[in-house]
A and B are shown apart, each in its own frame.
Chain A
């Protein structure tokens, strides 16, 4: 699609800047940006680059909820926003916020969709008609009476989209639409956005750092932001053929990475924005095949002793209800780094809870180092198996970092002098030693995460289970957290990660256990799982683009190609990246 100059100009930034009242320096500088009707734009950039601030300026939350100083001009449909109220803006701009759970206002799907027209005093029967129309548009009309808790992640997002589509808005903003979705649902979300754009002809702005996933459907322009400025505004093909992405810490699509490893240089006329549509010349294909045939030296891990073993565990939250876990048998060995994957409600979290003793299994036995732990309390198990929640704010209860990390020892009556030794060790491992006298509130999200990990490590567990360790993190923070976990793993701690992130699986887990409907449907090396169509489908995963690249280059063994990619990265790339990330954190 090409946007001619005749398309209506909807949004115009002119030398725009913004500074929050509470901050000393501006968050946005010299923003010049024009958006026309019907355009699809992706705004990408690392955390803190100002992309959220930018969209808050568009949808009116700035300056109505967040106060600060604006400079320059920002016009929506030709009207300066400083003359408009947030309600005027909401007639033109619809925003789907990041967390579809937290933004649910209504008790049921229908009420949530009805929220905006209710506030506009739309009466019946119009109100019911409009709700039904919007619900039908996103395909959620059979769930009108359901409560949010009864919906899957993808359905919740459809409701949020219907909630803004119910008004005829000209600009649709999606703030990190993929953040809480499993890979297959994320793919559907991008397809839904695409479909909505086609149906309404609205301008779509997607804010997201998962570039490859967004590029699943057509995007006109990618706007790259860094440190409060727009540093590039180009079609995706041009962006992918340059070097800007890696410079600002955005992950490039995996097939592009693989091509670069093979020595292929990417140019704009190859259409690199999707693996299917990409034009790869014979010369480049040959290079890829050559790269694939070059063996990588890999050290197979020696088999180690069993740490945790579960024998046919079954569990239901309410007697007579569907089993959340159904005959789970699995063993985890010492020193492993393993991913647990599956859709929401597949039993991943329940499994972790049963292992930690938060819930008690109805049937089956759990052995730790060969000993049945049925009689161990939550507190006793925690000395062997640490559990780190997804949101660090849910775990932190002390004001000072030192006290937070010491908490688990103090409640166990360990003498203060021993506590100080152990806390020091944990803080040093987590790269927090120089911050030991800081209040927790001064830390970033990633640092808080490390505080919660330190507060678990201080108890000297043999194994830690982490729930979505990198959710909502940009590529740099993701790498920082994951390299830190790998380092812990190298020091002998068994790491189990519950995750939706396929990159995490590919890059850091040696093995993946796939849950579906309370059962384990696969337990294998990651490259085997991510190339097995039936497992991918059942567990709501997504085929990796590396597989597509392999087929395109005439390599029949796609699984082998993925394995080669992982081995190559681990052998040649990872070590250097690790040192960089660790230098920054210590």
Chain B
């Protein structure tokens, strides 16, 4: 079964960073990648992100489901942009170079294709980092480090618990839906979308009810063992920030600065090779 959030425990320098470091880096990295359309910067980020992905020792097959999902989304998005705004690139770069003899509204222009290229690069620069974060961050260690950077521990623990229960709930959903199918609740691709949505409620109600039972048990178990007793708590999985954490975050801050600097010298978010 495919788990959406699946921590994969393999020894790597990325795994050794604390969860909070990875979270801060993810935020900075995304900001750097999102704030610019400078092709050189995006290409650089894409290449680095792929190298980091390799360093993290995560294989494509570990993340195939999420990767496929985002790529399909990317393709749909690109097509939509082209259909609704085929002259967007021309507007941005201020020139119009037709690639074919045909010159209608939907005629391909070098500017539009370049814009699309940049758009795709933005995704490619970010996706590996998101996947890396999800697969190399141990939920409990993440909670510990969130708490360390100032998030209340009850919230941090709730995040960790939620992550921990996702596989359980997926498994339960699977079991309930099988029993439902036996009674004729059609969930296969044969049924129409509407009837599938309707049937889904037949599975969600038992899923919610049995989850409520579990929530009661777990909250009792936590209280009985002193959760909430003090203003602070310690973490078995907590790790101190190390030099690598500091340098990783500094590196990401530099990337953001670089991205902002490029926006400044480009006189906007776009790098224009057509001038």
Residues on A facing B (Cβ under 8 Å) = 59-61, 64-65, 86-87, 90, 94-95, 97, 99, 102-103, 105-108, 110-111, 114-124, 127-128, 131, 149, 163-164, 353, 356-358, 378-379, 381-382, 386-387, 389, 391, 393-397, 407-408, 410-412, 455-456, 459
Q: How many residues of B contact A (CB 8 A)?
A: 48
Q: Is B233 an interface residue (CB 8 A)?
A: yes
Q: Which residue of B lies closest to A413 (CB)?
A: B184
**A-contacting 9-mer, from B109-117, B224-232, B252-260:** B224-232
Q: Is B268 an interface residue (CB 8 A)?
A: no
A370 to B177, CA, bound (A): 29
Which residues of A lie under 8 Å from residue B230 when comparing CB positions? 119-121
Q: Is B209 an interface residue (CB 8 A)?
A: yes
For the complex of A and B, list the 4 residue pairs with the smallest distance between their C-beta atoms, beginning with the closest: A411-B184, A114-B236, A103-B221, A382-B182
Contact B237 A102 (CB under 8 A): no
Contact A103 B217 (CB under 8 A): yes
Contact B221 A106 (CB under 8 A): no
Which residues of B lie under 8 Å from residue A110 when comparing CB positions? 236
- B163-190: CB near A (< 8 Å → 1, else 0) gives 0100100001001101111111110000
Residues on B facing A (Cβ under 8 Å) = 138-140, 160-161, 164, 167, 172, 175-176, 178-186, 201-203, 205-206, 209-210, 213-214, 217-230, 232-237
Q: Which residue of A lies closest to B157 (CB)?
A: A105
B139 to chain A, nearest CB (A): 6
Which residues of B lie under 8 Å from residue A111 when comparing CB positions? 140, 236-237
Which residues of B lie under 8 Å from residue A116 when comparing CB positions? 225-226
Q: Given A107-B139, A111-B140, A397-B205 in contact, is the A118-B184 Cβ separation under 8 Å?
A: no
Which residues of B lie under 8 Å from residue A114 when comparing CB positions? 236
A92 to B175, CA, bound (A): 40
Q: B178 contacts which of A97, A127, A353, A397 (Cβ < 8 Å)?
A: A353
Contact A120 B185 (CB under 8 A): no
A411 to B186, CA, bound (A): 8
Which residues of A lie under 8 Å from residue B202 when comparing CB positions? 397, 407
Contact B226 A124 (CB under 8 A): no
A121 to B202, CA, bound (A): 44
Given A117-B234, A118-B236, A119-B229, 11 more pairs with CB closer than 8 A: A65-B223, A86-B223, A90-B226, A97-B224, A102-B213, A103-B220, A105-B221, A107-B164, A111-B237, A115-B227, A407-B184
Q: Mind listing 15 A-B residue pairs with CB under 8 Å? A: A61-B224, A97-B224, A111-B237, A114-B236, A120-B233, A357-B182, A382-B183, A386-B182, A393-B210, A393-B213, A397-B203, A407-B183, A407-B202, A408-B183, A411-B184
Contact A122 B234 (CB under 8 A): yes
Contact A119 B184 (CB under 8 A): no
Contact A102 B221 (CB under 8 A): yes
Q: Which residue of A lies closest to B215 (CB)?
A: A102
A23 to chain B, nearest CB (A): 17
A482 to B236, CA, bound (A): 47
Contact A387 B140 (CB under 8 A): no
Q: Which of A358, A381, A393 has the most CB of B within 10 A?
A: A393
Q: Which residue of A lies closest to B205 (CB)?
A: A397
Which residues of A lie under 8 Å from residue B234 when comparing CB positions? 117-118, 121-124, 127
Q: Which residue of B lies closest to A358 (CB)?
A: B178
Which residues of A lie under 8 Å from residue B221 when comparing CB positions? 97, 102-103, 105
Contact B182 A387 (CB under 8 A): yes
Which residues of B lie under 8 Å from residue A61 when comparing CB positions? 220, 223-224
A516 to B230, CA, bound (A): 47
Q: Given A97-B217, A111-B140, A396-B206 in contact, is the A121-B232 Cβ separation under 8 Å?
A: yes
Q: Which residue of A lies closest to B138 (CB)?
A: A107
Q: B185 contacts which of A65, A102, A411 (Cβ < 8 Å)?
A: A411
Contact A127 B236 (CB under 8 A): yes
Contact B236 A389 (CB under 8 A): no
Q: B210 contacts which of A65, A121, A379, A394 (Cβ < 8 Å)?
A: A394
Contact B179 A389 (CB under 8 A): yes
Q: Which residue of A lies closest to B229 (CB)?
A: A87
Contact B226 A97 (CB under 8 A): no
Contact A60 B224 (CB under 8 A): yes
Which residues of A lie under 8 Å from residue B206 when comparing CB positions? 393-397
Which residues of B lie under 8 Å from residue A121 when comparing CB positions? 230, 232-234
A48 to B90, CA, bound (A): 76
A409 to B218, CA, bound (A): 37
A86 to B182, CA, bound (A): 45
Which residues of A lie under 8 Å from residue B236 when comparing CB positions? 106, 110-111, 114, 118, 127-128, 131
Contact A389 B175 (CB under 8 A): yes
Q: Given A61-B220, A111-B237, A128-B236 in contact, is the A382-B138 Cβ separation under 8 Å?
A: no
Which residues of B lie under 8 Å from residue A408 when comparing CB positions? 183-184
A52 to B269, CA, bound (A): 65
Q: Which residue of B lies closest to A357 (CB)?
A: B182
A412 to B206, CA, bound (A): 21
Q: Which of A102, A122, A124, A410 has the most CB of B within 10 A?
A: A102
Which residues of A lie under 8 Å from residue B233 when comparing CB positions? 118-121
A124 to B223, CA, bound (A): 23
Contact B226 A378 (CB under 8 A): no
A65 to B234, CA, bound (A): 24
Q: Which residue of A lies closest to B211 (CB)?
A: A393
A116 to B227, CA, bound (A): 7
A118 to B144, CA, bound (A): 11
Contact B225 A115 (CB under 8 A): yes
B145 to chain A, nearest CB (A): 14
Contact B229 A379 (CB under 8 A): no
Q: Which residue of A lies closest to B223 (CB)?
A: A86
A95 to B237, CA, bound (A): 24
Q: Given A118-B234, A378-B182, A407-B184 in contact, is the A394-B175 Cβ separation under 8 Å?
A: yes
Q: Which of B178, B181, B217, B224 has the most CB of A within 10 A?
A: B224
A133 to chain B, nearest CB (A): 14
B11 to chain A, nearest CB (A): 13
A97 to B221, CA, bound (A): 7
B222 to chain A, nearest CB (A): 6
Contact A381 B182 (CB under 8 A): yes
Which residues of B lie under 8 Å from residue A102 when comparing CB positions? 213-214, 217-218, 221
Q: Which residue of A lies closest to B161 (CB)?
A: A105
Q: B222 contacts which of A105, A131, A456 (Cβ < 8 Å)?
A: A105
A356 to B183, CA, bound (A): 11
Which residues of B lie under 8 Å from residue A386 when comparing CB positions? 182
A580 to B229, CA, bound (A): 51
Contact B183 A394 (CB under 8 A): no
Q: Which of A108, A131, A386, A411 has the most CB of B within 10 A?
A: A411
Contact B183 A411 (CB under 8 A): yes
Which residues of B lie under 8 Å from residue A86 when comparing CB positions? 223-224
A80 to chain B, nearest CB (A): 20
Contact A164 B179 (CB under 8 A): no
Q: A107 contacts which of B160, B183, B203, B214 (Cβ < 8 Å)?
A: B160
Which residues of B lie under 8 Å from residue A97 when comparing CB positions? 217, 220-221, 224
Contact B184 A412 (CB under 8 A): yes
Which residues of A lie under 8 Å from residue B161 when comparing CB positions? 105
Contact A64 B223 (CB under 8 A): yes
Contact B224 A90 (CB under 8 A): yes
B186 to chain A, nearest CB (A): 7
Q: Which of A94, A119, A410, A456 has the most CB of B within 10 A?
A: A119
Q: Given A118-B234, A396-B206 in contact, is the A105-B225 Cβ separation under 8 Å?
A: yes
Q: Which residue of B lies closest to A144 (CB)?
A: B236
Q: Which residue of B lies closest to A317 (CB)?
A: B1
